[in-house]
Amino acid sequence: MTKKAVIVGALGVIGRNLMDHLAAQGGWEMVGLSRRKPDFESEAEFISVDLLDRGDAEEKLRHLNDVTHIFYAAFQARPSWAEHGAPNLAMLVNSVEPIAAASPGLRHVHLVEGNKIYGSHLGPFKTPAKEDDPPHMLPNFYWDQEQWLREAQVGRDWTWSASRPQTVCGFALGNPMNITTCIAVYAAISKELGLPLRFPGKRGAYEAVYQVTDSKLLAESMEWCALNADGAAANEVFNITNTDFFRWKNVWPKFAAFFDMPMDDVQTISLTDFMADKEEVWNKIVEKHNLERVSYKEIAAWPFADYVFGTDWDVMTSTIKVRQAGFHNCVDSEEMFLRIFKEFQDRNVLPR
């Protein structure tokens, strides 16, 4: 039976790597929803749609009458958590409802959430966090989306699932909220300026326990949920991480070695402030190494890097539930970082 997937947010780190994974597996037809055009060749159908406009969504999606799976990985940032809620819930509703109405054969909807539902961004929280832990003091748009999905599924023939990754890492262009590119660009600029590679965050963050999720592993888990839509993944939530934990102080020397740089001690700075004037340096690097012309504002999100490197408390979630359900894949985080750095180099986005 042919499976047809709609990937909402198809050009982000999560969506792009999911499309690559499904294409490699075979047996999937794909439709990508995004606000911009793809920067790569694909046999998938791409639809440019404004999911905040219900009329536009219904008009653009009404022809999708044979969809079997929806993978939702879209996100729109807002200044505050309270403001995140309405637009991000609306985009989910405006993608699922029109497709479900047009596709009687819909079998499964998968929602990508995040560990911020536990309050991992607010300060120390219960670790390791488990899927049945309560959310932090609301509002939290992940909670809103999940509750809507739970209620929308009642009485339907399709099931749903949700994954909760932490700091997703992988290859994508035009998606600056990617800690791998933030690290690599910071290293490249430091090297160009003749500086050693220093950890720019808080010393507590340098020493705290942290975890990340490889976008390739996340894609594998999302397909696993889709293929187990009537079984172990039906109407379930799973924490999805590489399954290991690390401290930045133990992997930072490996990063310095990879970029062939000396390493120095922690020097806490605001990357948002100190990298604000480095566009000229980045453009010089691009010219010197004849790199792909990715604009400085699209290559790295420094406020996001400040957030990650300012997390001076342990970030740990349990992945026991998904392993007991039958998904056993895992990734070594240190090896993942080096592999992704090399992929950006091989694709001529970062200097060697």
Strands (DSSP E) contained in 150-228 are: 159-164, 168-169, 213-214
Domains along the sequence of the chain with CATH: 3-167+212-239 (3.40.50.720), 176-211+244-316+327-346 (no CATH)
pLDDT tens for the chain, 352 residues long, are 689 999 999 999 999 999 999 999 999 999 999 887 777 778 899 999 999 999 999 999 999 999 999 999 999 988 888 899 999 999 999 999 999 999 999 999 999 999 999 999 999 999 999 999 999 999 999 999 999 999 999 999 999 999 999 999 999 888 889 999 999 999 999 999 999 999 999 999 999 999 999 999 999 999 999 999 999 999 999 999 999 999 999 999 999 999 999 999 999 999 999 999 999 999 999 999 999 999 999 999 999 999 999 999 999 999 999 999 999 999 999 999 999 999 999 999 999 9
pLDDT at 145: 98
Nearest Cα to 343, choosing from 151, 172, 137, 168?
A: 172
Please indicate, yes or no, whether the overall pTM of this predicted structure exceeds 0.85: yes
- How far is CA 253 from each of CA 116, 218, 327, 341, rounded to the nearest angstrom? 28, 26, 32, 14
CB 166 within 8 A of CB 114: yes
- How far is the first Cα of the chain from the last one, in angstroms, to the nearest whole number? 44
CB 32 within 8 A of CB 47: yes
pLDDT at 173: 83
Nearest Cα to 62, choosing from 105, 98, 96, 109?
A: 98
